[in-house]
Structure 1
Amino acid sequence: MKEDYFTREFIAEMRERYFRERKWERVRPFRRAAVLAIDLQRYFLSPESRAFLPSAGRFVPGLVEFYSELRELQVPIIFTRHHHESDHMTRWWGGDMPKDDPLNELFNDFRPFVRVVVEKNTYDAFYDTELETLLQKMGVETVIITGVMTHLCCETTAREAFVRGFNVVFPVDGTLTQNRHFHEGTLRNLSHGFAVTPLLREVLEWLSSE
Protein backbone atom coordinates (compact mmCIF):
# COMPACT_ATOMS: atom_id res chain seq x y z
CA MET A 1 0.00 0.00 0.00
CA LYS A 2 2.87 2.40 0.75
CA GLU A 3 5.10 3.63 -2.06
CA ASP A 4 7.63 6.33 -2.92
CA TYR A 5 5.42 8.09 -5.46
CA PHE A 6 6.06 11.83 -5.03
CA THR A 7 8.00 12.52 -8.23
CA ARG A 8 8.13 15.56 -10.50
CA GLU A 9 6.34 13.53 -13.15
CA PHE A 10 3.53 12.61 -10.78
CA ILE A 11 3.09 16.22 -9.62
CA ALA A 12 3.02 17.51 -13.20
CA GLU A 13 0.42 14.91 -14.13
CA MET A 14 -1.79 15.78 -11.17
CA ARG A 15 -1.60 19.48 -11.96
CA GLU A 16 -2.52 18.82 -15.58
CA ARG A 17 -5.49 16.64 -14.64
CA TYR A 18 -7.05 18.57 -11.80
CA PHE A 19 -6.10 22.26 -11.91
CA ARG A 20 -9.02 24.45 -13.05
CA GLU A 21 -8.01 27.95 -14.17
CA ARG A 22 -11.57 29.33 -13.95
CA LYS A 23 -11.79 28.31 -10.29
CA TRP A 24 -8.37 29.79 -9.57
CA GLU A 25 -9.59 33.09 -11.01
CA ARG A 26 -12.51 33.04 -8.58
CA VAL A 27 -10.25 32.47 -5.57
CA ARG A 28 -7.33 34.78 -6.37
CA PRO A 29 -9.05 38.06 -5.37
CA PHE A 30 -9.38 36.76 -1.80
CA ARG A 31 -5.80 37.45 -0.73
CA ARG A 32 -6.11 37.48 3.05
CA ALA A 33 -4.66 34.00 3.33
CA ALA A 34 -3.21 31.67 5.93
CA VAL A 35 -1.42 28.36 5.48
CA LEU A 36 -2.44 25.31 7.48
CA ALA A 37 0.47 22.96 8.15
CA ILE A 38 -1.32 19.74 9.01
CA ASP A 39 0.33 17.17 11.29
CA LEU A 40 3.94 17.53 10.11
CA GLN A 41 5.07 15.21 12.87
CA ARG A 42 7.93 12.75 13.25
CA TYR A 43 5.29 10.01 13.38
CA PHE A 44 4.79 10.40 9.62
CA LEU A 45 8.14 11.80 8.51
CA SER A 46 10.79 9.86 10.48
CA PRO A 47 11.94 6.47 9.11
CA GLU A 48 11.89 4.85 12.56
CA SER A 49 8.11 5.27 12.82
CA ARG A 50 5.70 2.54 11.73
CA ALA A 51 3.64 5.26 10.00
CA PHE A 52 6.57 6.63 7.97
CA LEU A 53 5.59 7.88 4.52
CA PRO A 54 8.14 6.64 1.95
CA SER A 55 8.08 9.87 -0.10
CA ALA A 56 8.96 12.05 2.89
CA GLY A 57 12.48 12.63 1.58
CA ARG A 58 11.13 14.07 -1.66
CA PHE A 59 8.33 16.03 0.00
CA VAL A 60 9.92 17.77 2.97
CA PRO A 61 12.53 19.93 1.16
CA GLY A 62 9.93 21.46 -1.15
CA LEU A 63 7.64 22.33 1.73
CA VAL A 64 10.49 23.81 3.75
CA GLU A 65 11.34 26.04 0.78
CA PHE A 66 7.68 27.07 0.47
CA TYR A 67 7.46 27.99 4.14
CA SER A 68 10.71 29.95 3.90
CA GLU A 69 9.20 32.06 1.11
CA LEU A 70 6.01 32.54 3.12
CA ARG A 71 8.02 33.90 6.03
CA GLU A 72 9.49 36.53 3.73
CA LEU A 73 5.97 37.41 2.57
CA GLN A 74 4.71 37.48 6.18
CA VAL A 75 1.97 34.97 5.42
CA PRO A 76 0.86 33.24 8.65
CA ILE A 77 1.39 29.49 9.04
CA ILE A 78 -0.74 27.62 11.56
CA PHE A 79 0.54 24.17 12.48
CA THR A 80 -1.61 21.36 13.79
CA ARG A 81 -0.45 18.43 15.88
CA HIS A 82 -2.46 15.23 16.08
CA HIS A 83 -2.71 12.90 19.06
CA HIS A 84 -5.36 10.50 20.30
CA GLU A 85 -5.69 7.94 23.04
CA SER A 86 -8.38 5.40 23.97
CA ASP A 87 -11.00 6.84 21.63
CA HIS A 88 -12.67 6.15 18.27
CA MET A 89 -9.42 6.80 16.42
CA THR A 90 -7.74 4.17 18.57
CA ARG A 91 -10.47 1.67 17.70
CA TRP A 92 -10.20 2.38 13.98
CA TRP A 93 -6.39 2.31 13.73
CA GLY A 94 -5.75 -0.24 16.46
CA GLY A 95 -3.42 1.97 18.47
CA ASP A 96 -2.89 5.24 20.29
CA MET A 97 -0.88 8.34 19.38
CA PRO A 98 -0.14 9.63 22.89
CA LYS A 99 0.47 13.35 23.20
CA ASP A 100 3.75 12.86 25.07
CA ASP A 101 5.23 10.34 22.59
CA PRO A 102 8.45 11.86 21.12
CA LEU A 103 7.35 10.68 17.67
CA ASN A 104 4.38 13.02 17.90
CA GLU A 105 6.56 16.10 18.06
CA LEU A 106 6.74 18.30 14.98
CA PHE A 107 9.42 17.27 12.50
CA ASN A 108 12.66 19.16 13.15
CA ASP A 109 12.90 20.66 9.65
CA PHE A 110 9.71 22.63 10.27
CA ARG A 111 10.48 23.95 13.74
CA PRO A 112 11.89 27.29 12.51
CA PHE A 113 8.45 28.14 11.10
CA VAL A 114 6.36 27.21 14.14
CA ARG A 115 4.58 30.08 15.85
CA VAL A 116 1.09 28.71 16.46
CA VAL A 117 0.16 25.06 17.07
CA VAL A 118 -3.42 23.79 17.20
CA GLU A 119 -3.80 20.48 19.02
CA LYS A 120 -6.36 18.08 17.54
CA ASN A 121 -7.51 14.51 18.01
CA THR A 122 -9.37 13.64 14.82
CA TYR A 123 -9.00 14.19 11.07
CA ASP A 124 -10.77 17.56 11.08
CA ALA A 125 -8.53 20.38 12.32
CA PHE A 126 -11.63 22.50 13.00
CA TYR A 127 -13.43 20.00 15.22
CA ASP A 128 -13.32 20.97 18.90
CA THR A 129 -10.31 23.29 18.36
CA GLU A 130 -9.66 27.03 18.27
CA LEU A 131 -8.71 27.02 14.59
CA GLU A 132 -11.78 28.78 13.19
CA THR A 133 -11.60 31.45 15.88
CA LEU A 134 -7.92 32.06 15.07
CA LEU A 135 -8.63 32.43 11.37
CA GLN A 136 -11.53 34.77 11.97
CA LYS A 137 -9.47 36.99 14.29
CA MET A 138 -6.81 37.19 11.57
CA GLY A 139 -9.41 38.15 8.96
CA VAL A 140 -8.51 35.16 6.80
CA GLU A 141 -10.52 34.61 3.62
CA THR A 142 -8.52 31.78 2.05
CA VAL A 143 -6.80 28.77 3.61
CA ILE A 144 -3.95 26.96 1.89
CA ILE A 145 -3.77 23.33 2.95
CA THR A 146 -0.39 21.63 3.34
CA GLY A 147 0.85 18.66 5.36
CA VAL A 148 -0.06 15.00 5.88
CA MET A 149 -1.91 12.84 5.11
CA THR A 150 -3.48 14.02 1.87
CA HIS A 151 -6.56 11.78 1.94
CA LEU A 152 -7.24 11.88 5.68
CA CYS A 153 -6.57 14.98 7.79
CA CYS A 154 -5.73 17.29 4.89
CA GLU A 155 -8.80 16.38 2.83
CA THR A 156 -11.16 16.41 5.80
CA THR A 157 -9.88 19.81 6.93
CA ALA A 158 -10.19 21.20 3.39
CA ARG A 159 -13.81 20.11 3.17
CA GLU A 160 -14.58 21.61 6.57
CA ALA A 161 -12.90 24.88 5.65
CA PHE A 162 -15.08 25.16 2.57
CA VAL A 163 -18.25 24.38 4.53
CA ARG A 164 -17.31 27.10 7.03
CA GLY A 165 -17.07 29.70 4.26
CA PHE A 166 -13.34 29.84 3.53
CA ASN A 167 -11.87 29.68 0.05
CA VAL A 168 -9.63 26.62 -0.14
CA VAL A 169 -6.35 26.21 -2.01
CA PHE A 170 -4.99 22.65 -1.98
CA PRO A 171 -1.63 22.60 -3.80
CA VAL A 172 -1.02 19.33 -5.65
CA ASP A 173 2.52 19.21 -4.23
CA GLY A 174 1.67 20.59 -0.79
CA THR A 175 0.49 17.40 0.88
CA LEU A 176 1.71 13.81 1.17
CA THR A 177 0.17 10.42 1.82
CA GLN A 178 0.91 6.71 1.46
CA ASN A 179 0.55 6.23 -2.27
CA ARG A 180 -0.43 7.86 -5.56
CA HIS A 181 -3.93 6.42 -5.55
CA PHE A 182 -4.89 8.06 -2.25
CA HIS A 183 -3.29 11.33 -3.35
CA GLU A 184 -5.04 11.42 -6.70
CA GLY A 185 -8.39 10.42 -5.23
CA THR A 186 -8.31 13.46 -2.97
CA LEU A 187 -7.37 15.82 -5.80
CA ARG A 188 -10.12 14.42 -8.01
CA ASN A 189 -12.76 15.01 -5.36
CA LEU A 190 -11.59 18.35 -3.98
CA SER A 191 -10.98 19.95 -7.38
CA HIS A 192 -14.57 19.22 -8.33
CA GLY A 193 -16.38 20.62 -5.32
CA PHE A 194 -14.14 22.16 -2.68
CA ALA A 195 -10.74 23.53 -3.67
CA VAL A 196 -8.48 24.88 -6.37
CA THR A 197 -5.34 22.77 -6.94
CA PRO A 198 -2.32 24.75 -8.23
CA LEU A 199 1.37 24.13 -7.60
CA LEU A 200 3.14 25.56 -4.56
CA ARG A 201 5.13 27.89 -6.81
CA GLU A 202 1.89 29.22 -8.30
CA VAL A 203 0.63 29.94 -4.81
CA LEU A 204 3.80 31.90 -4.07
CA GLU A 205 3.42 33.87 -7.31
CA TRP A 206 -0.13 34.78 -6.31
CA LEU A 207 0.80 35.75 -2.75
CA SER A 208 3.73 37.89 -3.90
CA SER A 209 1.94 39.66 -6.75
CA GLU A 210 0.75 43.24 -6.45
Structure 2
Amino acid sequence: MTDTAQPVQIPPVDALIVVDVQSAFVTGAGAVPAAERLVDRTADLIARARRDGALVVHLQNDGPPGSEDEPHTPGWELHHPVEPGPLELVIRKPEDDGFRRTPLGGVLTGAGVRAVAVCGVMSEMCVQATARTALARGYRVVVPYDAHATQDVPAAPGIAGTIPAATASRVAAYALGSDAEITAPAAAVTFTAPGKA
Protein backbone atom coordinates (compact mmCIF):
# COMPACT_ATOMS: atom_id res chain seq x y z
CA MET A 1 0.00 0.00 0.00
CA THR A 2 1.38 3.41 -0.91
CA ASP A 3 0.99 6.50 1.20
CA THR A 4 -1.71 7.78 -1.17
CA ALA A 5 -3.78 4.58 -1.11
CA GLN A 6 -7.04 4.67 0.80
CA PRO A 7 -7.26 2.14 3.65
CA VAL A 8 -9.86 -0.57 3.43
CA GLN A 9 -12.82 0.47 5.56
CA ILE A 10 -13.95 -1.86 8.33
CA PRO A 11 -17.40 -2.23 9.89
CA PRO A 12 -18.20 0.72 12.16
CA VAL A 13 -17.73 0.82 15.91
CA ASP A 14 -20.12 2.65 18.21
CA ALA A 15 -17.64 3.75 20.89
CA LEU A 16 -14.14 5.19 21.03
CA ILE A 17 -12.06 4.66 24.16
CA VAL A 18 -9.17 7.13 24.35
CA VAL A 19 -6.73 5.76 26.92
CA ASP A 20 -4.57 8.13 28.97
CA VAL A 21 -3.74 10.71 26.31
CA GLN A 22 -2.44 12.98 29.06
CA SER A 23 0.10 15.78 28.92
CA ALA A 24 2.83 13.80 30.68
CA PHE A 25 2.80 11.15 27.97
CA VAL A 26 2.50 13.25 24.81
CA THR A 27 4.39 16.48 25.58
CA GLY A 28 7.79 17.41 26.93
CA ALA A 29 10.68 15.17 27.91
CA GLY A 30 8.45 12.29 28.98
CA ALA A 31 6.50 12.06 25.71
CA VAL A 32 6.34 8.74 23.90
CA PRO A 33 8.57 8.64 20.79
CA ALA A 34 5.55 8.67 18.45
CA ALA A 35 3.72 11.44 20.33
CA GLU A 36 3.11 13.69 17.32
CA ARG A 37 1.60 10.87 15.27
CA LEU A 38 -0.41 9.63 18.25
CA VAL A 39 -1.90 13.07 18.93
CA ASP A 40 -2.76 13.50 15.26
CA ARG A 41 -4.43 10.08 14.97
CA THR A 42 -6.34 10.29 18.24
CA ALA A 43 -7.58 13.81 17.44
CA ASP A 44 -8.87 12.56 14.10
CA LEU A 45 -10.58 9.56 15.69
CA ILE A 46 -12.25 11.78 18.30
CA ALA A 47 -13.46 14.26 15.68
CA ARG A 48 -14.94 11.54 13.47
CA ALA A 49 -16.52 9.70 16.41
CA ARG A 50 -18.22 12.93 17.50
CA ARG A 51 -19.37 13.70 13.97
CA ASP A 52 -20.92 10.25 13.52
CA GLY A 53 -22.63 10.12 16.93
CA ALA A 54 -20.47 7.45 18.59
CA LEU A 55 -19.80 7.38 22.33
CA VAL A 56 -16.40 8.91 23.21
CA VAL A 57 -14.81 7.93 26.52
CA HIS A 58 -11.60 9.61 27.66
CA LEU A 59 -9.82 7.50 30.28
CA GLN A 60 -7.62 9.51 32.62
CA ASN A 61 -5.06 7.69 34.73
CA ASP A 62 -4.64 8.71 38.37
CA GLY A 63 -0.96 8.08 39.07
CA PRO A 64 0.49 7.72 42.56
CA PRO A 65 1.84 10.70 44.51
CA GLY A 66 4.97 12.07 42.90
CA SER A 67 4.33 10.46 39.52
CA GLU A 68 4.16 12.37 36.25
CA ASP A 69 0.40 11.75 36.11
CA GLU A 70 -0.41 12.48 39.74
CA PRO A 71 -3.96 13.89 39.87
CA HIS A 72 -4.32 17.65 39.49
CA THR A 73 -0.75 18.17 38.24
CA PRO A 74 0.00 19.51 34.75
CA GLY A 75 1.06 16.08 33.48
CA TRP A 76 -2.25 14.54 34.55
CA GLU A 77 -4.35 16.85 32.37
CA LEU A 78 -5.96 15.40 29.25
CA HIS A 79 -4.27 16.58 26.06
CA HIS A 80 -7.40 16.69 23.88
CA PRO A 81 -10.27 19.03 24.73
CA VAL A 82 -13.40 17.25 25.93
CA GLU A 83 -16.91 18.16 24.82
CA PRO A 84 -18.90 16.91 27.82
CA GLY A 85 -22.36 15.56 27.10
CA PRO A 86 -24.35 12.35 26.90
CA LEU A 87 -22.00 10.95 24.24
CA GLU A 88 -18.66 12.18 25.61
CA LEU A 89 -17.28 11.77 29.07
CA VAL A 90 -14.15 11.41 31.16
CA ILE A 91 -13.61 8.41 33.41
CA ARG A 92 -10.75 8.50 35.88
CA LYS A 93 -9.06 5.18 36.57
CA PRO A 94 -6.73 3.96 39.33
CA GLU A 95 -5.29 0.95 37.45
CA ASP A 96 -4.13 -0.07 33.98
CA ASP A 97 -7.44 -1.70 33.05
CA GLY A 98 -10.01 0.98 32.24
CA PHE A 99 -12.79 -1.34 33.40
CA ARG A 100 -11.35 -2.14 36.82
CA ARG A 101 -12.79 -0.07 39.67
CA THR A 102 -14.43 2.36 37.23
CA PRO A 103 -17.94 2.81 35.77
CA LEU A 104 -16.73 2.09 32.19
CA GLY A 105 -18.52 -1.25 31.91
CA GLY A 106 -21.82 0.23 33.03
CA VAL A 107 -21.44 3.21 30.71
CA LEU A 108 -20.90 0.99 27.66
CA THR A 109 -23.73 -1.35 28.61
CA GLY A 110 -26.09 1.51 29.35
CA ALA A 111 -25.39 3.08 25.97
CA GLY A 112 -25.96 -0.20 24.14
CA VAL A 113 -22.41 -0.28 22.77
CA ARG A 114 -21.40 -3.38 20.81
CA ALA A 115 -18.03 -2.47 19.29
CA VAL A 116 -15.18 -0.29 20.52
CA ALA A 117 -12.01 1.22 19.10
CA VAL A 118 -9.25 1.56 21.68
CA CYS A 119 -6.39 4.02 21.26
CA GLY A 120 -3.88 5.90 23.41
CA VAL A 121 -1.00 5.02 25.75
CA MET A 122 0.72 2.90 26.89
CA SER A 123 0.35 0.09 24.36
CA GLU A 124 1.50 -2.81 26.54
CA MET A 125 -0.11 -1.53 29.71
CA CYS A 126 -3.36 0.45 29.81
CA VAL A 127 -4.30 0.09 26.14
CA GLN A 128 -3.78 -3.67 26.12
CA ALA A 129 -5.42 -4.21 29.52
CA THR A 130 -8.51 -2.23 28.54
CA ALA A 131 -8.80 -3.91 25.13
CA ARG A 132 -8.37 -7.36 26.69
CA THR A 133 -11.21 -6.79 29.16
CA ALA A 134 -13.43 -5.42 26.39
CA LEU A 135 -12.82 -8.64 24.45
CA ALA A 136 -13.57 -10.73 27.53
CA ARG A 137 -16.86 -8.88 27.92
CA GLY A 138 -17.89 -9.73 24.39
CA TYR A 139 -17.26 -6.45 22.59
CA ARG A 140 -15.88 -6.32 19.09
CA VAL A 141 -12.53 -4.56 19.58
CA VAL A 142 -10.50 -2.56 17.05
CA VAL A 143 -7.01 -1.39 18.01
CA PRO A 144 -5.70 0.83 15.17
CA TYR A 145 -1.98 0.15 14.91
CA ASP A 146 -1.04 3.80 14.37
CA ALA A 147 -3.16 5.23 17.21
CA HIS A 148 -1.46 3.72 20.25
CA ALA A 149 2.09 4.18 21.48
CA THR A 150 4.51 3.49 24.30
CA GLN A 151 8.06 4.15 25.48
CA ASP A 152 11.15 2.13 24.57
CA VAL A 153 11.50 -0.92 26.81
CA PRO A 154 14.82 -0.54 28.68
CA ALA A 155 17.58 -3.08 28.19
CA ALA A 156 17.83 -5.97 30.62
CA PRO A 157 21.59 -6.47 31.04
CA GLY A 158 22.64 -9.99 30.18
CA ILE A 159 19.18 -10.82 28.81
CA ALA A 160 18.13 -8.41 26.07
CA GLY A 161 18.87 -5.03 24.60
CA THR A 162 16.51 -2.07 24.44
CA ILE A 163 13.27 -2.81 22.62
CA PRO A 164 12.17 0.13 20.43
CA ALA A 165 8.80 1.61 21.29
CA ALA A 166 7.33 0.79 17.87
CA THR A 167 8.21 -2.88 18.33
CA ALA A 168 6.78 -2.94 21.86
CA SER A 169 3.52 -1.42 20.59
CA ARG A 170 3.20 -3.95 17.80
CA VAL A 171 3.84 -6.89 20.12
CA ALA A 172 1.36 -5.53 22.68
CA ALA A 173 -1.41 -5.40 20.07
CA TYR A 174 -0.44 -8.75 18.56
CA ALA A 175 -0.62 -10.34 22.02
CA LEU A 176 -4.36 -9.61 22.11
CA GLY A 177 -4.78 -12.53 19.73
CA SER A 178 -6.97 -13.08 16.73
CA ASP A 179 -10.17 -11.83 18.38
CA ALA A 180 -9.03 -8.21 18.22
CA GLU A 181 -8.79 -6.31 14.96
CA ILE A 182 -5.27 -4.98 15.36
CA THR A 183 -4.12 -4.16 11.85
CA ALA A 184 -6.52 -1.40 10.87
CA PRO A 185 -4.98 2.08 10.59
CA ALA A 186 -6.89 4.83 12.36
CA ALA A 187 -8.08 6.16 9.01
CA ALA A 188 -9.91 2.87 8.37
CA VAL A 189 -11.98 3.07 11.56
CA THR A 190 -15.57 4.19 10.98
CA PHE A 191 -18.18 5.12 13.56
CA THR A 192 -21.89 4.91 14.16
CA ALA A 193 -24.29 5.74 16.97
CA PRO A 194 -24.35 3.41 20.00
CA GLY A 195 -26.27 0.19 19.49
CA LYS A 196 -25.93 0.26 15.70
CA ALA A 197 -22.54 -1.43 15.26
Shorter-chain TM range is 0.7 to 0.9
> Structure 1 residues 63, 98: closer, same or farther in 2, change over 3 A?
closer
Letter paired with 1:34: A
CA positional deviation for 1:113: 4.5
Find the counterpart in structure 2 of residue 186 from structure 1.
Answer: 172
Quote how far apart the aligned CAs of 1:73 are: 0.7
Deviations 1:100-159 (A, max 9, x none): 21210101xx10445311110111000010000000000001111011111110001110
The answer to whether the 8 A contact 2:68-2:75 is kept is no
Instruction: Tell me, yes or no, if the aligned pair for 2:98 and 2:126 is still in contact at 8 Å.
Output: yes
The structure 2 residue matched to 1:126, chosen from 93, 96, 99, is 99
The yes-or-no answer on 1:75 pairing with 2:45 is: no
1:101 match:
73
Structure 1 position 207, deviation (Å): 4.7
Displacement of 1:63 in angstroms is 2.0
Task: Work out which of the residue numbers 36, 57, 63 in structure 1 matches 2:36.
Answer: 57
Aligned residue in 1 for 2:143: 170
Count of aligned residue pairs for this structure pair: 174
Amino acid at match of 1:78: V
What are structure 2's unaligned runs of at least 5 residues? 152-164
Counterpart of 1:195 (choices 180, 192, 195) is 180
Q: Which amino acid aligns with 2:81?
A: R
Per-residue deviation, 1:59: 2.1
- Higher percent of residues as helix: 1
Deviation at 1:70, TM superposition (A): 1.8
Q: Distance between the aligned counterparts of 1:160 and 1:138, measured in 2?
A: 18
Structure 1 gaps, min length 5: 1-7
Deviation, 1:194, is 3.5
Match of 2:120? 147
Task: Report the residue type matching 1:186 in the other structure.
Answer: A
Question: Does the aligned pair in 2 maintain the 1:159–1:194 contact within 8 Å?
Answer: no
Contact kept? 2:38, 2:120, Cα under 8 Å? no
Identity of aligned residues (%): 24
Change (3 A) 1:157 1:140: same
Q: CA separation in 2, counterparts of 1:53 and 1:104?
A: 15
TM-score by length of 2: 0.77
TM-score if structure 1 supplies the norm length?
0.73
Separation (CA, whole Å) in 1 of partners of 2:55 and 2:32: 26
Runs ≥4 residues deviating over 3 A = 112-115
8 Å CA contact 1:44, 1:52 repeated in 2: yes
Structure 1 pair 145/32, CA: closer, same or farther in 2 (3 Å)?
Answer: closer
